[in-house]
Structure 1
Amino acid sequence: MQKRACFDFEIEFSNGGGIQGHGFRLDIPGDDIDDESLAAYVIRDMRLLMVGKAHILNKRIIQEPHKRSTSQASREACAGNSPVFVDLSHSISSGMVTVEGLPAPMICDHLSRVASRSLYGAGTEFQINRLEMVGNTGTYIDVPFHRYADGYDLAGLSLDRVADVPGITVKALGATDRAIDWHHFVPYECRGRAVLVHTGWDQHWGSERYFDGHPYLTEKAATYLRDQGTLMVGIDSLNIDNTAGSERPVHSVLLAAGIPIIEHMTRLEDLPPENFRLHAAPPKVVGMGTFPVRVHATLR
């Protein structure tokens, strides 16, 4: 089990003023860390200038997984020259439920292999399937037409927003509040990137628990991401909005700005905080605003 330091701190600036932190947690490389090294971590991590004095208080070492640990996929990418692919999508199967109240997909034969034998030469057969489903099935992407009648549809989606896009993973795993506010995104460079929010809610996929009490973004978080120039936003949760009411402010803000949304992602724990490329191009369908997508990341 990895170790983290849990502590309070007081920092005084040489030009006046100061800041305090309570219950702060920080990944440490070994089993313990001295106060001076811990203070240096805080100053470096927060990029603080003009520090006069730094005091570490109430320090204790706890066993807890690192929030910035390198994933297995990242280690594999570093070990070889070939890219490592991380599939971030759920599989779609006949009868599965993605969102309560929406019909499950139906997958059946249009032309079975047996029936096809009468149409082709000896030893030649094909399978042609029929799929009936709503766009909101499995891991899917929302584009502005989903929310706005004059927004671009799947056919109007520019590939530079969803193909080979630099990505970052924002860790919201273990947060005590379901609402993920704008402060979570401040430490990250969001401009020109796909921002993926890792909540860990995908562990409930396929169970009744998945539909109740999921994490979501606040409207202020959506506004911050929009104003920072984010290209795309994804989450491994039931919905990027709070579904307790009828309003959908996050969808409204992001899609009004032309920023696609991906919901029901999975395996975000296998991604590093940054240095990966995201791919999430859906079929080029006219008149649709949402559709399943085989979203995946490449690591080198």
Structure 2
Amino acid sequence: MCDACLIENIKSSMLSRRSLFTGAAATTAAVVAAGLTTAKPALAQAAGRVVDLTHAYDGAFPTFDGNPGILYEPAVKFEGNGYQLWKLTIFEHTGTHIDAPLHFSADGTSVADLAPEQLICPLCIIDVTAKAAEDPNAMVEPADIEAWVSANGAIPAGSCVAMNSGWGAKVASPDFRNTADGKLAFPGFSKAATDMLAGLDVASIGVDTLSLDPGNSADFAVHFSWLPGGRFGIENLANLDQLPATGATIFIGAPKHKTGTGGPARIMAVV
């Protein structure tokens, strides 16, 4: 075969292969495009709504120790620069925030190392507003969990179980943190309840108050048992009263600073 003929054959073969690949790519693109228009993500297909479970906070937001949880310092001012930013000093356990296992253990999981699958999960809400109205240090007890299960069915493994005490409505009042005589007072979980939830393989608990333990707790029994067990908590949740007892999915925007014992988080629910 002559050189010219050989070159022509190679060119013809290359063009045929190029046409084959081009056609295949076009077909694949068409299939993908068709899929994108018909196979929407499950959440996008839901006719539900998003509820923000996060309080906006500043240095005046109530904290457990009474000290400002976040401090602002101008780092760049708009005047003369055309942009602006703050230097922030943030204490981890302020605002709507996470308590990671490392918070109450020497070598527990840090907030940066929480398993991603634990951060998107079913949300179960136990309502204790009635007894919290009678007792500011009311607790979620095993009987409350049993009543919830009786009314709503089993608590899914890996879920987040949150207490709605109605305390979120008090956040702008001194009553959110303490009684008139200055004693800490707010609802929380009992250790008996969290032991039960641990046995059900619940991944996290949440409260609409300053602490997983009630305000009058002297031993922080829930913190010392729940967190070292490898589970985490969320404190100062907002808007739990806007959600049903079951059926919502919680999205926990955990911070990811290394060796963190917790930190402010953006929490959302879809229902």
What is the alpha-carbon distance in structure 2 between the residues aligned to residue 167 and residue 94 of structure 1? 29
| Contact 1:100–1:211 (Cα < 8 Å) also in 2 | no
Structure 2 letter corresponding to 1:298: V
Q: Is the 8 A contact 2:62 2:177 kept in 1?
A: no
- How far residue 219 of structure 1 moved from its aligned partner, in angstroms, is 0.9
Structure 1: which amino acid aligns with 2:235? E
Name which of 103, 109, 133 aligns with 2:90. Answer: 133
Distance in 2 (alpha carbons) for counterparts of 1:290 and 1:106: 18
Aligned match for 1:112, one of 51, 54, 77: 77
Q: CA deviation at 1:246?
A: 3.4
Query: Counterpart of 2:212 in 1: which secondary structure?
Result: coil
**DSSP-derived class of the 1:286 partner:** coil
Letter paired with 1:180: V
1:90 matches 2:47 = no
1:209 aligns with 2:172: no
SS of the counterpart of 1:113?
Answer: coil
> What's the CA shift for 1:81?
4.7
Could you tell me which amino acid in structure 2 is paired with residue 283 of structure 1? P
Which structure would you say has the larger Rg? 2
Q: Secondary structure of 2:129's partner?
A: coil
Q: Is the 8 A contact 2:101 2:230 kept in 1?
A: yes
| Secondary structure class of the residue paired with 2:214 | coil
- CA shift in 2, pair 1:104/1:231, >3 Å: closer
Counterpart of 2:139 in structure 1 is 179
Q: Secondary structure at the match of 1:185?
A: helix
Q: How does 1:155-194 map to 2 (within 5 A)?
A: 155-162=112-119, 164-175=120-131, 176-177=134-135, 178-186=138-146, 187-188=148-149, 189-190=154-155, 191-194=157-160
Q: Structure 2 vs 1, CA of residues 215 and 128 (structure 1 numbering), >3 Å: closer, same or farther? A: same
Amino acid at match of 2:139: A
1:220-299 correspondence to structure 2 within 5 Å:
220-299=192-271
Please name the residue that 2:35 is paired with: none
Q: CA deviation at 1:245?
A: 4.2
Cα drift, residue 103 of structure 1? 3.1
Matched residues in 1 for 2:48 and 2:259: separation?
35
In structure 2, the residue matched to 1:151 is 108
Look up the match of 1:56: none
Structure ranking higher on relative contact order (CA contacts 8 Å, 6+ apart): 2
Report the secondary structure of 2:205's partner residue. strand
Residues 245 and 167 (structure 1 numbering): CA distance in 2 closer, same or farther, change over 3 Å? Answer: closer
Q: CA deviation digits over 1:193-244, x for unaligned, max 9?
A: 1111111011110221111221121110110011111011101122121332
1:226/1:253 contact within 8 Å kept? no
Query: How far is 1:252 from its partner?
Result: 1.6
Amino acid at match of 1:194: C
Equivalent residue letter for 2:126:
V
Residue 219 (1) aligns with residue 176 (2)? no
Structure 1 unaligned regions, length at least 5 = 1-79, 117-124
CA–CA separation in structure 2 for the residues paired with 1:104 and 1:262? 16
Please, what TM-score do these two structures have when normalized by structure 1? 0.66
In structure 2, distance between residues paired with 1:284 and 1:81: 29
Instruction: Show CA shifts across 1:90-119 (max 9, x none).
Output: 101244332233333112321112242xxx
Question: Over residues 3-33 of structure 1, what are the superposed CA-to-partner deviations in whole Å (9 max), with x where a residue is unaligned?
Answer: xxxxxxxxxxxxxxxxxxxxxxxxxxxxxxx
Higher mean C-alpha displacement, 206-215 vs 102-111 = 102-111
1:293 is matched by which residue type in structure 2? A
Q: What percent of counterpart residues are identical? A: 23
Return the letter of the residue paired with 1:254: W
User: Secondary structure of 2:253's match?
Assistant: coil
- Aligned match of 2:66: 101
- Which has a greater percent of strand? 1
Q: How many residues align?
A: 211
SS at match of 1:252: helix
Q: Which runs of 5+ in 2 are unaligned?
A: 1-44, 179-184
**What TM-score do the two structures reach when normalised by structure 2?**
0.73
Structure 1 residues 219 and 81, CA gap change in structure 2 (3 angstroms): closer
CA deviations 1:247-267 (Å, max 9, x no partner) are 111112211221110011111
Summarize the Cα distance change of 1:107–1:81 in structure 2 as closer, same or farther, 3 Å threshold.
same
CA distance in 2, matches of 1:154, 1:216: 22
